[in-house]
Amino acid sequence: MRVLLVLDHPYTLASADNVPHRRSFTAAVAAAAVRGATAAGHEVDVIDLAADGFSPVMTREDLVAWRQGAVADPLVGDYQRRLLAADHLVFAFPVWWEAMPAATKGFLDRVLTKGVVFAERPGARGNPFHNLMPRLGGVTVLSVMTTPDKAYRWWYRDPLTKILFKGTFGKIGVRNLRWINFDRVAGRTPEQRGRLLADTERRFAALAPGRGAAPARKGSPTRGGPLTRSGT
Helix/strand/coil for 21:
coil
CB 90, CB 2: distance < 8 Å: no
Q: Which residues contact 89 (CB under 8 A, 6 or more apart)?
A: 3, 4, 6, 83, 136, 138, 139, 140
CB 228, CB 144: distance < 8 Å: yes
Helix/strand/coil for 92:
strand
Helix/strand/coil for 144:
strand
**The pLDDT of residue 147:** 87
**The pLDDT of residue 219:** 37
Amino acid at the residue 66: W
pLDDT in tens, 129-180: 999 999 999 999 999 998 888 888 888 888 999 999 999 999 999 999 999 9
pTM value is 0.89
pLDDT in tens, 57-110: 999 999 998 888 889 999 999 999 999 999 999 999 999 999 999 999 999 999
Closest CA to 36 of 81, 79, 5: 5
Q: Which helix (H) or strand (E) holds 28?
A: helix 25-39
Q: Which helix (H) or strand (E) holds 182?
A: strand 177-182
